[in-house]
Structure 1
Amino acid sequence: MSGGARTAIIGGGMAGCAAAKELITAGREVVIFETADGLGGRARSWHSPEIEPDVGINLMYVSFYQLMSEHIREYGLSDELVQLSSDVFVVDNGVPVSLSSDSPRSLLSYKHVSLKDRFSFLFTTLREVRRRNELSLFDPIMSAPLDDGSTAAEYGYRHVSRRGFDFLLRPQIEGFWNFACEDISAVHARALLAWMGGSGFYVFRGGMEIIAEKNAEGADLRLSHQVTDLRLVDGKVRVTALHTEGEPVTETFDDVLIATPAPIAAKLTAAMPPDVVGSTARKFLETQEYEPALSVSYLVDAGSMPAEAHIVAGGPDDPPLRNMITHPRQVRDAHGGLVDKLLVFTYPGRANTRRLIGRTEEEQFAAVTPLLTTLWPDFPTDAQPFRIAERPYGFPIPAPGRYHQAVQVMRQQGAPVVFAGDYFNAPTTEAALLSGVRAAAALTTVS
């Protein structure tokens, strides 16, 4: 189907808005349905007027993100980037040791593991760096040939001791994503080693959602609309959505691009005939598992903790508290003056996250606050509970074998229903952007 067609995009996150940009450029009329009251999806930051700057940091941009780098240049957003420290503090029984992702010297002085493990880890990393062009954190087409069914843990234990893996690579994977190394493909770990060293880490001063908003320019937005039903009627796709105020909306489109988490996509397309959503795609969606995410933030006095620090738990066990990230902020006092503070984001371990998702904020703060000293023993006792953000579909788990399935689904995609999302490869905004671009191409390419 060529330009002039009318396309519905379900989900206004990074994947959906990247697809919108491509479809609008191709001459399509695009309507984006988004449940939230703004764009960005899981990359959207919250904003709070009590702090300056008012943005709650969410996802990071890393300098080797190709598509996002192109968008930053295209939209003139370089001044919006704030560089973060690459230092990670890995904690063992309350003892933090710095481990920089771009400093061999930091690795060689890292005292949590033996010298032999440090050298083995360095040689393993250098070997993967040399194969960088074969490895990708974003592209399943590149990842699939190397997805041999082994896990990240199995890969790591082949190259360093168990303690070496549990205090070198495991915290750098599980400290950024809450899934277990025993559950994810070795390709994910290999790509991480190949690309992270020497990279720059950034956040957007006003929130990463600006990329989604720019990409969606020209689309008709249906914010605060939750899509409840998709039907194929006379060759068209009928979309039914419910506004947060309770008013249902029904519209008809030539085709639809679904950029929601996989379980939601499976539910929405349950009534689609098998010649529209085949068994391969349906199984791929229905079997995708997620680790939920829970961010519990506190304000503490400046100087009471390291600033711009990423503090993660080492070791093989699922810890009570997985990690902390500190960002400098200012808060107005009773006289209107600005006081330097640190905004500390804390993330419980997997079991605690699953237990606390969906509970009241009072219950979540009450459960997490006693855990703070399990990761940082000197966490300030006068910390001020600030804000909580939860995402039931936080991190799609890139299990062994899923890259092959992702490629198969991608190659079978076509009108009138296609899918996009970071679950096609790994939970990064770059993977989401790439999936959106490819899903849009599946709608616009005439066979």
Structure 2
Amino acid sequence: MSEGVRVAVVGGGWAGLAAAVHACAAGHRVSLFEMAPQLGGRARSVRKDGLTLDNGQHILIGAYVQTLALMRQVGMDVEAALHRMPLTLQYPDGSGLRLPAGPALPAFARGVLGWRDLPWGDRLGLLWWAARWRLRGFRCPPSMTVAELARRCPRRAYQALIEPLSVAALNTPAEQASGQVLLTVLRDALFGPPGAADLLLPRRPLDALLPDDASRWLRARGAHIELGRRVMRLTADDTGASVDDEPFDHVIVATPPGEAARLLADISPAWSAAAAAFTYQPIITAWLRAPQTRWPQTMMALRADGLRPAQFGFDLGALGGPADTFALVVSGAAPWVSAGADATRMALMNQWEEAFPATTHGPVEWIASRTEKRATFACTPGLKRSPARVHPRLTVAGDHVEGPYPATLEGAVRSGVEAARCIG
């Protein structure tokens, strides 16, 4: 194929937007179809009682190089849009890990050695285990869970660092999560270039973080974007592909796994069956209003257990959002989904009062909560993720296709970029 072929992108989440932008930049004629009334997929904004709230509190890190490059490509001022801070897992009582700025490996060592509430033996033990992982090339048996990977790691270090990082990065409890995928994340973040481990917290609603700028960029270059359009049928043969009988030279399917399985059932039954077999982990996000309250950190770690649902909290007012408004995030939330909305709400309110007893200058108000039951695929050991290439004229993009990353924005963007490279 020569440049300028007709390309259809089915799905307008971050994977689809990445694919559309890169295809358009390569000179192809792009049509993007999104079944929802807005772009962004799961990483989108919602409106509640006059407030603009994100559909889950998404976190980026400095190692998300392709996501950051895509943002810059569509004209975003990344430094203004994202609040950068060193990796910090600080609890409301002031304990926890905080990495200093600078090259990642020395920063990690300095941060662990300066972790005052962790005994010296545990600090040295954690560094020893990190060195072992590095010497082994950040590889482990594919059947190993995070809990098994860190079985001999100092218990307090495991509970204070490894376990929270596992549920934050993989949205899967450590006892079920893939040790290899977590090692990949640790390699790229804690042992990557300077700033790789930094937390990048959005200062804008998710709609304004990528979808709005990407939409303007695409339309300015002649791309056709159709919202509220659910594609019903795909076909592909040696001469091209079609979307609801409209001909294209190449189609990129950038939908969630279930929708991709439906669309590809006739083209590749084996691929479709594998995608339909995915299991998922939910995330619950709750928003509260606490008058005249500010946290010492824009993001706080929280002690989670069978009585305390949330692992992290965010001061949205400090991030340019509604004043005195906070988000509590429950990752790997299947037990709390089973417990029900009322039990979860009561537990979160109790957790707030326990964690922040002296910060509130008035009654805490419950604003809303949102449960994303299929927030991410369950990132378990040995998970078989389907390949991106389904047919010479058809590829799939999404954080669920083959790749080293868990279900993250970076995984979605990388897959979109790779799908666009398959055109031709």
TM-score w.r.t. length of structure 1: 0.75
Task: Choose between structure 1 and 2: higher strand proportion.
Answer: 1
Residue 395 of structure 1 aligns to a residue whose secondary structure is strand
Residue among 172, 186, 201 paired with 1:179 = 172
**Identity over the aligned pairs, expressed in percent?**
23
- 2:326 is aligned to 343
| More divergent stretch after superposition (174-183 vs 292-301) | 174-183
CA distance change for structure 1 residues 110 and 383 in 2, over 3 Å: closer, same or farther?
same
Residue among 244, 256, 264 paired with 1:261 = 256
Residues in 1 aligned to 2:381 and 2:82: alpha-carbon distance in whole angstroms: 34
Partner AA of 1:204 in structure 2: P
- 1:69 is aligned to 68
Residues in 2 aligned to 1:326 and 1:9: alpha-carbon distance in whole angstroms: 34
Partner AA of 1:225 in structure 2: R
CA distance change for structure 1 residues 146 and 5 in 2, over 3 Å: closer, same or farther?
farther
Query: 1:194 and 2:184 equivalent?
Result: no
- What stretches of structure 1 move > 6 A for 4+ residues in a row? none
CA distance change for structure 1 residues 321 and 349 in 2, over 3 Å: closer, same or farther?
farther
Alignment check: 8 A CA contact 1:397 1:423 kept = no
Aligned counterparts, 1:41-56, within 5 A: 41-46=41-46, 50=50, 56=54
Residues in 2 aligned to 1:176 and 1:417: alpha-carbon distance in whole angstroms: 30
CA distance change for structure 1 residues 61 and 256 in 2, over 3 Å: closer, same or farther?
same
Shift of 1:16: 0.7
Query: 1:122 and 2:112 equivalent?
Result: no
- 1:87 is aligned to 88
Query: 1:291 and 2:286 equivalent?
Result: no
Alignment check: 8 A CA contact 1:319 1:349 kept = no
| More divergent stretch after superposition (339-348 vs 417-426) | 339-348
Aligned counterparts, 1:136-155, within 5 A: 148-155=142-149
Shift of 1:113: 5.7
Residue 127 of structure 2 aligns to a residue whose secondary structure is helix
- 2:21 is aligned to 21
Residue 324 of structure 2 aligns to a residue whose secondary structure is strand
Residue 298 of structure 2 aligns to a residue whose secondary structure is coil
Alignment check: 8 A CA contact 1:348 1:368 kept = no
Residue among 221, 225, 228 paired with 1:221 = 225
Alignment check: 8 A CA contact 1:151 1:185 kept = yes
Residue among 347, 355, 361 paired with 2:338 = 355
Alignment check: 8 A CA contact 1:12 1:41 kept = yes
Residues in 2 aligned to 1:319 and 1:175: alpha-carbon distance in whole angstroms: 19
CA distance change for structure 1 residues 107 and 302 in 2, over 3 Å: closer, same or farther?
farther
| More divergent stretch after superposition (76-85 vs 179-188) | 76-85
Query: 1:166 and 2:159 equivalent?
Result: yes
Shift of 1:90: 5.2
- 2:374 is aligned to 393
* 1:21-77 deviation digits (Å, cap 9, x = unpaired): 1222333222212122222222223466856xx564732221222112323444251
Alignment check: 8 A CA contact 1:15 1:259 kept = yes
Residues in 1 aligned to 2:154 and 2:420: alpha-carbon distance in whole angstroms: 45
CA distance change for structure 1 residues 414 and 22 in 2, over 3 Å: closer, same or farther?
farther
- 1:333 is aligned to none
CA distance change for structure 1 residues 294 and 373 in 2, over 3 Å: closer, same or farther?
same
Residues in 1 aligned to 2:313 and 2:81: alpha-carbon distance in whole angstroms: 20
Shift of 1:170: 0.6
Alignment check: 8 A CA contact 1:90 1:167 kept = no
* 1:341-397 deviation digits (Å, cap 9, x = unpaired): 1423332652344337xxxxxx83674144332465145582222233433321223
Residue 257 of structure 1 aligns to a residue whose secondary structure is strand
- 2:103 is aligned to none
Residues in 2 aligned to 1:229 and 1:269: alpha-carbon distance in whole angstroms: 9
Residues in 1 aligned to 2:142 and 2:330: alpha-carbon distance in whole angstroms: 31
CA distance change for structure 1 residues 184 and 339 in 2, over 3 Å: closer, same or farther?
closer
Shift of 1:436: 0.7
Partner AA of 2:26 in structure 1: A
- 1:246 is aligned to none
- 1:427 is aligned to 407
Alignment check: 8 A CA contact 1:11 1:260 kept = yes
Residue among 239, 246, 255 paired with 2:243 = 239
- 1:334 is aligned to none
Residue 128 of structure 2 aligns to a residue whose secondary structure is helix
Alignment gaps of 5+ in structure 1: 136-144, 241-249, 331-337, 357-362
Residue 171 of structure 1 aligns to a residue whose secondary structure is helix
CA distance change for structure 1 residues 322 and 343 in 2, over 3 Å: closer, same or farther?
closer
Alignment check: 8 A CA contact 2:60 2:200 kept = yes
